[in-house]
Structure 1
Amino acid sequence: MRRLNKLIQSPAYQASLAKTAAMEKERVYCKHGFDHLLAVARIAYAYLLERKNTDYPREIVYAAALLHDLGRWVEYQSGEDHASAGARLAEPLLQAGGFDGRESALIVTAIKEHRRKGEKDVSPLGEALALADDWSRECRDCGAQNTCHKFSPTMLELWY
């Protein structure tokens, strides 16, 4: 997990988290800080293991999850989809972190796909991120349920 530590300690990664946090300071819905990213990593990895999918080592799953919302601040600033922006921002971080070209391609693809849940051409890692992104939310205790586009009452049945 040395490469993950290098990735999350990088100034560019920390700057992206800080920019997102600043832009979400007044947000009433789920925020996209490190706690969310780590929850997505854990859930995505467990999801893949439960499906006996061993094509993605833990470090690859965690890297994809920890980077999947990297472009949130870009979306807030410019309106560009955060999945596309995040994939673009992730590439140099992955290279600097020591991930090879094949690993980086898997991770970047999953980041691009993490908003495409249920579509046929999504990779297993992209699907795992999409599901984990939803499942990581603590909707049961949220005061913004009635205005959140992510919330539905049946969602609670799946999670709790």
Structure 2
Amino acid sequence: MKKEIKKRDKMPRLNAVINHELYQKYYERIRSCETDRIFCCHQMNHLLDVARIAYIKNLEEGLGYEKELIYTAAVLHDIGKSFQYREQIPHEIAGEKVARRILDSLPEEVNFTDEEKELICLAVKGHRRRHEGMQQIEELFYESDKRSRMCLSCAAEKKCNWDKEEKNMEITI
């Protein structure tokens, strides 16, 4: 009996976002700003760690978010980081604006629905801090973002300004 091999999930909308001119511009700005950074960086490894954790939590908790939506929100959640470095604009505020510009300019064949765009932008804007009235997607990305940091194995952990309670000194998801 032959095993049927499942094709890898294709995510054309996610890839349209990653290859978007604005995404590339701001991603490169982040990379440039973080060239000599000793603390956690906000590049593809981190973004995909957040996506994977969020997707696992989504499945375990039965939240019902589509995989491509989660991955897209994850790759966009820190896209405003260069604005924080260069202009002291909170990255979740700048990031939501950049994410919306990218999402609103995708070609029709890879466009997200208005409801999906709102969820993605809400994840970007709401991932940074706990706040009263957090919506489910904000909570998912807040937790996934924080859990993605492996303070326990970070060479810069002692110099990090995160509160002791915020640091991940154990592996948790």
Q: Same fold judged by TM-score > 0.5?
A: yes
User: Is 1:144 aligned with 2:156?
Assistant: yes
Q: Report the equivalent of 1:88.
A: 97
The equivalent position to 1:34 in structure 2, one of 33, 44, 47, is 44
1:100 aligns with 2:113: yes
Q: CA deviation at 1:53?
A: 1.0
Runs of 4+ in 1 over 4 A off after TM superposition: none
Q: CA RMSD in A?
A: 1.7
Q: Paired residue for 2:145?
A: 133
Which residue matches 1:50? 60
> Is contact 1:74-1:80 (8 Å) kept?
yes
135, 148, 167: which one aligns with 1:123? 135
The CA distance in 1 between the partners of 2:168 and 2:40, in whole Å, is: 15
Distance 1:80 1:128 in 2: 23
Larger radius of gyration: 2
CA positional deviation for 1:127: 1.0
The alignment partner of 1:22 has SS state of helix
In 2, are the aligned partners of 1:113 and 1:126 still within 8 Å (CA)? yes
User: In 1, distance between residues paired with 2:124 and 2:70?
Assistant: 11
Measured against aligned partners, the alpha-carbon deviations of 1:106-130 in whole angstroms (never above 9, x if no partner) come to 111111100123x331111111111
Could you say what secondary structure the match of 1:99 adopts? coil
Residue 82 of structure 1: how far off its partner (Å): 0.2
Figure out how many residues of one structure are paired with residues of the other and give that number.
158
State the Cα distance separating 1:28 from its structure 2 match: 0.8
The Cα shift of 1:152 comes to: 3.2
Q: Deviations over 1:64-103 (max 9, x none)?
A: 1110000000111110100010000001211233112111
Alignment gaps of 5+ in structure 2: 1-10
CA distance, structure 2, for counterparts of residue 34 and residue 145 of structure 1: 21
CA distance in 1, matches of 2:12, 2:105: 12
TM-score normalized by structure 2? 0.85
**SS of equivalent to 2:168:** helix
Percent identity, please. 35
Distance 2:150 2:137 in 1: 22
Partner amino acid, structure 1, of 2:144: A
Paired residue for 1:60? 69
Distance (Å, rounded) in 2 between the aligned partners of 1:155 and 1:20: 24
